[in-house]
Structure 1
């Protein structure tokens, strides 16, 4: 990595951390704010959460081409400004239309920021350094979310709407800081991605049809949907409902479980990174599937076993901790793999396509898992045990589509990301 790449990467990671810090101030309290503080009702709060997902699904199909045509810097700056406007409007909103408009702006802006930042990280890294770069991004994002949520909890007061305005104002400022930092980044031309920097306004070759013809990327998107559906899509819906209904977990314990999840990610991230760098990515993802299978079995014991309430609570918290271990292994694996599969002119489109798959999983996951976790306890656990085992199977199948350099980048080896149309006749990893 050159000095210019290192300087740009530090700015990108700083903006990523600060924006996550701002988001952490509001995410845990959004439902309470809409339903109780603004007295708009639980149904409106549910619609607000749905609007976040819908807004993301509407803008992400257009995001990748914008990134590849104009570069990620103007996209991340524009998206951060939109998100800042949405956050500030949310803090001032007192009617249903205003709340929904604010949620749409905030959801759309936040969704676009992620693939744009991911593309900036790709441009400022090489295959040898990309794994650690994405691991650092995930580490800082979780650290920022945790610290922001902790401080926000000390500032918020349900009896004072002004305290919520302060939280949303802080979030808006952090997004504006991200926009300022993004605008100041001078992206170097990465020698491993020739032609990635847009030279003119010509539309990049390829598009959705080229992506759909890329068998490995299609399989990775399918795997990604299952990953996000079986984990992130259950955290605040199905698994929470299952814990309170089947395991008798107190609502306050849900906060402890989420804290355990974040703590494992922060503590384990750079420990498991050594494991990830030494093994094939497909096999690391397969191992995550097995770890999450154990997590769901432990959750099953918490709600369906006959132990004490203390044992059930410990098992439930352990479930979230095991999920965190798997997340720490995925962060330096999946995102770099998306980048290494992308042709040089379609990095933004590949990142946006994968972000779209993630949003779909996060929209479908709560809708399916919530009702099951609340009432169909045994089928719920069995379903997600099978989904987790499916992760392992899909990961091993994906490995057969990857070249050796894509499945296990060698730190000592310089490699050029494939340009033009995805190659189907490259020798797959053994």
Structure 2
């Protein structure tokens, strides 16, 4: 990595962490703000949260091509400006229409940031450094979210709406900082990714049809959906409902469980990284499925066992901690794999497609898990134990479609990539026989 790449990478990581810090100020309190502080009711709060999530589904299908045509920098700057507007407007909104529209703008802006930041990390890293770059981003984002949530909790007062307005204005300011930092980044060509940068007047080839013909990427998207559905899609809905209804946890204890999840990620990330970066990515993801299956079994003991309330609470906190361990293994594994599967001119589209699958899982997960976790306690646990084991099966199946360098980047001795092995299957037929065999 050159000195210029390192400087750009540090700025991107700083901006990403500060934007996560801003999100941490408001996300945990959005429901309370709309339903209680603005006195718009639980129904409106639910609509606001749904619109916040659904806005991402509306913009992500168009984000990838914009990134590949214009580059991630201008897309990120525009997204940060949109998110700034949405955060500030939401903090000042007192009516239903204004709150819903503001949530849509904020959700769209924050959704576009994800693939733009991911593509920038790809541009600023080589195959050898990409795993650590994504691990560092995940670590800093979780640290920012955790600190933001803690600081925000000391500011908010449900009897004083202006304290919530202050939170949203701080969030808006963090998005402004992200945009300013992004605008100062200078991305130089790298020998490992020289063709990724768009040039004036060129159109990114491929598109949805090419992506769907790439079987390894399709399998990774399916795997990503199951990953986020079985974990993140349950944190604030199904698992929280199960913990309070079946395990008898106090609502305040959920905050401790989420803190345990974040603490494990922060503490374990770089310890786990040493274990992960020299092993096959498919095997690492498969092991996450086993860890999460065990986590769901522990949750089953908490709600369906006959232990004391103290033991049930400890088991639920352990469940969240085990999820955090799995998350710390995924962060340096899945996102770099998306980049290594992408043809050079479609990195933005691949990142956006994967982000779309993630967002779909986050939208469907609470809708399915919430009612099950609250009422169907036994079937809920069994369902997600099976989903977790499905992660293991899907990961092992994906591993058979990856080249040795894609599955285990530490095997590469040369910091360049063979683009042909990452081409969608429909185009791979024109490659040499040996390359096609390696791609399979």
* TM bin (shorter chain): over 0.9
Paired positions, count: 430
Contact 2:342 2:423 (C-alpha < 8 Å) held by counterparts: no
- Alpha-carbon distance in structure 2 between the residues aligned to 1:30 and 1:109: 17
Task: Give the superposition deviation at 1:201.
Answer: 2.8
Aligned to 1:349: 349
Alignment of 1:298-309 (within 5 A): 298-309=298-309
Contact 2:76 2:113 (C-alpha < 8 Å) held by counterparts: yes
Alignment of 1:44-193 (within 5 A): 44-193=44-193
Aligned to 2:431: none
- Alpha-carbon distance in structure 2 between the residues aligned to 1:417 and 1:51: 41
Find the residue that maps to 1:426 and give its secondary structure. helix
Contact 1:233 1:364 (C-alpha < 8 Å) held by counterparts: yes
Task: Give the superposition deviation at 1:426.
Answer: 3.5
Alignment of 1:358-377 (within 5 A): 358-377=358-377
Find the residue that maps to 1:328 and give its secondary structure. helix
- Alpha-carbon distance in structure 1 between the residues aligned to 2:436 and 2:338: 17
Task: Give the superposition deviation at 1:202.
Answer: 2.1
- Alpha-carbon distance in structure 1 between the residues aligned to 2:105 and 2:184: 24
Give per-residue Cα distances to partners, 1:180-238, cap 9 Å, x unaligned.
00011001112112221111132111100000000000000000000000000000000
Give per-residue Cα distances to partners, 1:280-325, cap 9 Å, x unaligned.
0000000000000000000000000000000000000000000000
Task: Give the superposition deviation at 1:429.
Answer: 8.4
- Decide whether aligned partners of structure 1 residues 244 and 428 sit closer, same or farther in structure 2, where only a CA change above 3 A counts: farther
Aligned to 1:199: 199
- Alpha-carbon distance in structure 2 between the residues aligned to 1:201 and 1:153: 49
- Alpha-carbon distance in structure 2 between the residues aligned to 1:218 and 1:158: 45
Aligned to 2:214: 214
Which consecutive unaligned segments of at least 5 residues does structure 1 have?
A: none
Aligned to 2:331: 331
Determine whether 1:426 maps to 2:427.
no
Alignment of 1:287-298 (within 5 A): 287-298=287-298
Contact 2:115 2:351 (C-alpha < 8 Å) held by counterparts: yes
Find the residue that maps to 1:401 and give its secondary structure. coil
- Alpha-carbon distance in structure 1 between the residues aligned to 2:418 and 2:152: 42
Aligned to 1:271: 271
Q: Which runs of 4+ in 1 moved over 6 A?
A: none
- In terms of mean alpha carbon deviation, does 185-194 or 310-319 score higher? 185-194
Give per-residue Cα distances to partners, 1:23-46, cap 9 Å, x unaligned.
000011000000000000000000
Q: TM-score, normalised by structure 1?
A: 0.98
Contact 1:289 1:390 (C-alpha < 8 Å) held by counterparts: yes
- Alpha-carbon distance in structure 2 between the residues aligned to 1:157 and 1:142: 24
Aligned to 2:416: 415
- Alpha-carbon distance in structure 1 between the residues aligned to 2:336 and 2:120: 12
- Alpha-carbon distance in structure 1 between the residues aligned to 2:373 and 2:154: 31
Contact 1:404 1:429 (C-alpha < 8 Å) held by counterparts: no
Find the residue that maps to 2:200 and give its secondary structure. coil
- Alpha-carbon distance in structure 2 between the residues aligned to 1:186 and 1:35: 43
- Alpha-carbon distance in structure 2 between the residues aligned to 1:157 and 1:417: 56
Determine whether 1:397 maps to 2:407.
no
Contact 1:340 1:417 (C-alpha < 8 Å) held by counterparts: no
Find the residue that maps to 1:199 and give its secondary structure. coil
Task: Give the superposition deviation at 1:170.
Answer: 0.3
- Alpha-carbon distance in structure 1 between the residues aligned to 2:137 and 2:418: 21
Which consecutive unaligned segments of at least 5 residues does structure 2 have?
A: 429-434
- Alpha-carbon distance in structure 2 between the residues aligned to 1:364 and 1:255: 23
CA RMSD of aligned residues (A): 1.2
Aligned to 2:19: 19
